[in-house]
Amino acid sequence: MTRIPTPVMQATAVPAEAPFDISPGAPTMAAGSLLYLDNVSVSFDGFRAINKLSMIIKPGEMRAIIGPNGAGKTTMMDIITGKTRPDEGDVIYQGKVDLTKHDEAAIANMGIGRKFQKPTVFESHSVYDNLLLALKQDRRVFPMLFRLPSKDEQTRIDELLALTRLGDLRETVAGSLSHGQKQWLEIGMLLAQDPQLLLIDEPAAGMTDAETEETAKLLKDIAQTHSVVVVEHDMDFIRSLGVRVTVLHEGSVLAEGSLDQVSANQRVVEVYLGR
Amino acid sequence: MTTSLSTSRGFLFGAMTGRATVITLGLILGAAVLVPVLNALPDGSPFKVPTYTVSLFGKYLCYALLALAVDLVWGYCGILSLGHGAFFALGGYAMGMYLMRQIGDRGVYGHPVLPDFMVFLNWKELPWYWYGFDNFAFAMLMVALVPGILAFAFGWFAFRSRVTGVYLSIITQAMTYALLLAFFRNDMGFGGNNGLTDFRDLLGFDLRSDGVRRGLFIASALALALGYIACRFVTTSRLGKVLIAVRDAESRSRFMGYRVEHYKVFVFTLSAVLAGIAGALYVPQVGIINPGEFAPINSIEIVIWVALGGRGYLFGAIFGALAVNIAKSYFTVAFPEIWLFFLGALFVLTTLFLPKGCAGLLSILKFPGLGTGMGFARKKEAGND
């Protein structure tokens, strides 16, 4: 639990797959940021799920996102990970890559990992195979057909199993894990991808108090070496993370600051308690 | 334990481990030796297997290979193709074209080049797409290429547009139905309604001779065994794990960085090639190929074989194809009017009480050596909330 066995990547380094969509050197606000959303809007059948949303995540930062239901938290993640294309606005990764021009697989390979609200693991695979598939590797069809497990991969998987405390469940079929174990396995899978930015949707949902506490610890450890964006409802959980908070409301940023600052904000109180 | 270890044992060897695999391959190869030997016994011997039966079971082996192909896409990647009969028929037509050219000038009209139906329809010369089919090697290449290219093109457009589930099933039905209508037309140059028939020789040997019948049976058994090994290799590889991942949680695989459409196109194309080979071996044993093979109902029947045998288990698909067809041969003679009711009831009962088919029943009964990771979990999709 003390060390995340992930090679620390330079937050400014661009992975080989990440192409330059913006000419290097062009002065933009995005320079120096890991993730930069500017004036992003998207509508579904006339409903504005995201409305002129702007946000900057710095390299190495951990950020919590809160907001009432329908505030656009999940849609925002969909836009960053390429599932949804915004109607307008820029989404710039590492100051160089326009994410709106890429699909889910390409964005994942650039180093953005996503954990879903409902734990989503490969239920008929063993815990081991779940992690094996998640490991950063050449994911093209024919290399995958002929690749055998290597010593390095075994070591890495063992580290991840220890980290997520699933060591004893190595050969267990993921479908038979408990809810909390699945959440942890999914976080392990996310780390196996060796991403630079982790997007984590409600990691504490459905967990016991003890599990929630452990999860907060785990995320804080992960944040030592990764940039993390966490969406959560649980205020105690956010408080235990002790990070900068962004409040979303009706698809745009309502307030930003420490948890104490935003909780003192009159408009945030109105939104959460109802007018 | 078995999953991670079996892949580390090596390539082809790893694909042939596991009790189910050894038993399946043993039975297929045993039949490949035993049936022809029993057929070669002198007449009057109590153990003699008649040539008619040899061809009948040769036909079943082709169906088993076809079922294997469907199981590969459906059982392992969740692509419910209701159009695999089309790939089977295309492979069959490629073989049929070769067999037609083998007739030479011995047709009813005695034309040195044109098959009988073309003479009858007043064709003056051989259409360009019949060129080369007098060459066996070329025809065999087409057996694999034609279904493969169609599947690749179809899959490319369908999977890239993320057509999945029931919509994909419906367009595969539409595909086979469109081909049915096309092949019915005399202008297509494939014999229209009557198809291709009256075959005489294969590689210069008389198709009606016992020796060739035995040879075709052995070839079918070997093709099934090789097809089984190929499917085993694919499904036990790391790629096979990705296929199962796509089946169980498609968008999770995508957010993990896998190009789901590439994997689907790969497995769909491979499966179509296997189906084409099955069709090519089927045609000389039944002596005819006509547009009826494209009928949508045929493709649905294949799915029933696989569901009954146990999708997601390769030996289950083989078992299902053999069991249903043997039952069909019996019932359609003994009780012709109830066969379809029987088949329908079988499918409904399997779906209700044996969702994993007969193979799943074995694994419930803790039959050892079936391996893990092939069973089914509840289908869950990522990203909904």
Q: Which two tokens stand for residue B160?
A: 């890239």
Let me know if residue A15 belongs to a domain: no
Alpha helices in chain A (DSSP H): 73-80, 104-109, 127-134, 141-146, 151-163, 179-192, 209-225, 235-241, 259-264, 266-273
Q: Specify the higher pLDDT residue, B129 or A26.
A: B129
Let me know if residue B131 belongs to a domain: yes
Distance from CA of B198 to the nearest CA of A (A): 43
The model's pLDDT over A215-228, given as tens digits with 9 standing for 90+, comes to: 888 899 889 999 99
CA distance A90 to A56: 12
Give yes or no for residue A204 having a pLDDT over 90: no
Give yes or no for residue B385 having a pLDDT over 80: no
CA distance B296 to B84: 9
Distance from CA of B369 to the nearest CA of A (A): 16
Let me know if residue B259 belongs to a domain: yes
Q: What is the residue type of B39?
A: N
Give yes or no for residue A23 having a pLDDT over 80: no
Q: What is the pLDDT of residue A18?
A: 55
User: Which residues from B are below 8 Å from A85, CB to CB?
Assistant: none
Q: Which domain holds residue B205?
A: 2-299
CA distance B198 to B131: 20
Let me know if residue A96 belongs to a domain: no
Categorize the per-residue pLDDT at B154 as very low, low, confident or very high, splitting at 50, 70 and 90: very high
Q: Specify the higher pLDDT residue, B118 or A12.
A: B118
Categorize the per-residue pLDDT at A207 as very low, low, confident or very high, splitting at 50, 70 and 90: confident
Interface residue of B238, B243, B255, B385 to substitute, partner A, most A CBs within 10 Å: B255
Q: What is the pLDDT of residue B14?
A: 54
Burial B365-381 (b: 16+ CB within 10 A, else e): eeeeebbbbbbbbeebe
Q: Which domain holds residue A177?
A: 61-81+112-273
User: How large a percentage of chain A has pLDDT more than 70?
Assistant: 88
CA distance A151 to A156: 9
User: Which residues from B are below 8 Å from A144, CB to CB?
Assistant: 237-239, 242
Region B324-349 average pLDDT? 88
Least confident interval from A8-17, B103-112, B340-349: A8-17
Do B192 and B118 touch, CB atoms closer than 8 A?
A: no
Least confident interval from A57-61, A180-184, B359-363: B359-363
CA distance A241 to A216: 6
Q: What is the pLDDT of residue A46?
A: 84
ipTM computed for the complex: 0.84
Categorize the per-residue pLDDT at A32 as very low, low, confident or very high, splitting at 50, 70 and 90: confident
User: Which residues from A are below 8 Å from B242, CB to CB?
Assistant: 133, 144
Q: What is the pLDDT of residue A208?
A: 84
User: How large a percentage of chain B has pLDDT more than 90?
Assistant: 66
Q: What is the pLDDT of residue B372?
A: 40
Mind spelling out the 3-state secondary structure of chain B? CHHHHHHHCCCHHHHCCCHHHHHHHHHHHHHHHHHHHHHCCCCCCCCCCCHHHHHHHHHHHHHHHHHHHHHHHHHHHCCCCCCHHHHHHHHHHHHHHHHHHHHHHHCCCCCCCCCHHHHHCCCCCCCHHHCCCCCHHHHHHHHHHHHHHHHHHHHHHHHHCCCCHHHHHHHHHHHHHHHHHHHHCHHHCCCHHHCEECCCEECCEECCCHHHHHHHHHHHHHHHHHHHHHHHHHHHCHHHHHHHHHHHCHHHHHHCCCCHHHHHHHHHHHHHHHHHHHHHHHHHHHCEECHHHHCHHHHHHHHHHHHHHCCCCHHHHHHHHHHHHHHHHHHHHHCHHHHHHHHHHHHHHHHHHCCCHHHHHHHHCCCCCCCCCCCCCCCCCCCCC
Q: What is the pLDDT of residue B368?
A: 53
Q: Do B8 and A145 touch (CB under 8 A)?
A: no
Q: What is the pLDDT of residue B1?
A: 35
* Residue among B256, B377, B382 whose CB faces A133 most closely: B256
Task: Report chain A residues touching chain B, CB-CB < 8 A.
Answer: 74, 78, 81, 83, 104-105, 108-109, 113-114, 116-118, 120-126, 128-129, 132-134, 139-141, 144-149, 171, 173-175, 189, 193, 201
Residue position matching structure tokens 């630079």: A196
Let me know if residue B210 belongs to a domain: yes
Q: Do A140 and B7 touch (CB under 8 A)?
A: no
The model's pLDDT over A104-139, given as tens digits with 9 standing for 90+, comes to: 999 999 999 999 888 899 999 999 999 999 999 999
The model's pLDDT over B305-331, given as tens digits with 9 standing for 90+, comes to: 999 998 899 999 999 999 999 999 888
Interface residue of B238, B246, B264 to substitute, partner A, most A CBs within 10 Å: B238
User: Which residues from B are below 8 Å from A131, CB to CB?
Assistant: none
B122 C-beta neighbours (distance < 10 Å), count: 6
The total domain count for chain B is 1
Minimal-distance CA residue of chain A relative to B14: A148
Residue position matching structure tokens 């994909």: B168
- C-alpha triplet B263, B269, B274: angle, nearest 5°: 125
Distance from CA of A108 to the nearest CA of B (A): 5
Q: What is the pLDDT of residue A15?
A: 46
The model's pLDDT over A248-267, given as tens digits with 9 standing for 90+, comes to: 998 889 999 998 898 888 88
Q: What is the pLDDT of residue A272?
A: 77
Do B63 and B81 touch, CB atoms closer than 8 A?
A: no
* Residue among B11, B248, B255 whose CB faces A114 most closely: B255
Let me know if residue B341 belongs to a domain: no
Checking DSSP bridges between strand A227-231 and strand A62-66, what pairing results, if any? parallel
The model's pLDDT over B278-292, given as tens digits with 9 standing for 90+, comes to: 999 999 999 999 999
Checking DSSP bridges between strand A62-66 and strand A244-249, what pairing results, if any? parallel
Distance from CA of A262 to the nearest CA of B (A): 26
The total domain count for chain A is 1
Let me know if residue A171 belongs to a domain: yes
> Torsions phi, psi of A115, nearest 5?
-110, 130
CA distance A61 to A46: 34
CA distance B52 to B63: 17
3-state SS assignment for residue A231:
strand
Q: What is the pLDDT of residue B360?
A: 82
CA distance B305 to B333: 20
Let me know if residue B366 belongs to a domain: no
The model's pLDDT over B75-119, given as tens digits with 9 standing for 90+, comes to: 999 999 999 999 999 999 999 999 999 998 888 888 888 999 999
* Residue among B254, B255, B263 whose CB faces A141 most closely: B263
Give the highest mean pLDDT range of A268-272, B50-54, B59-63, B373-377.
B59-63
Let me know if residue B25 belongs to a domain: yes
Between chain A and chain B, the number of residue pairs with CB atoms below 8 A apart is 126
State the CATH number of the domain containing residue A193: 3.40.50.300
Q: What DSSP character marks residue A175?
A: G
Q: Do B257 and A108 touch (CB under 8 A)?
A: yes
CA distance B120 to B114: 10
CA nearest neighbour of B85 among B234, B289, B235, B249: B289
3-state SS assignment for residue A267:
helix
Do A144 and B253 touch, CB atoms closer than 8 A?
A: no
Q: Do B241 and A148 touch (CB under 8 A)?
A: no
User: Which residues from A are below 8 Å from B259, CB to CB?
Assistant: 105, 139-141
* Residue among B234, B239, B256 whose CB faces A134 most closely: B256
Q: Which two tokens stand for residue B206?
A: 């008389």
Categorize the per-residue pLDDT at B374 as very low, low, confident or very high, splitting at 50, 70 and 90: very low
Q: What is the residue type of B110?
A: G
Categorize the per-residue pLDDT at A13 as very low, low, confident or very high, splitting at 50, 70 and 90: very low
Q: Do A133 and B260 touch (CB under 8 A)?
A: no
- C-alpha triplet A189, A192, A196: angle, nearest 5°: 110
CA distance B55 to A152: 53
Q: What is the pLDDT of residue A98?
A: 92
Let me know if residue B79 belongs to a domain: yes
Task: Report chain B residues touching chain A, CB-CB < 8 A.
Answer: 1, 3-4, 7-8, 10-11, 234, 237-239, 241-242, 244-245, 248-249, 251-260, 262-263, 266, 372-378, 380-385
Let me know if residue B379 belongs to a domain: no
Q: What is the pLDDT of residue B379?
A: 37
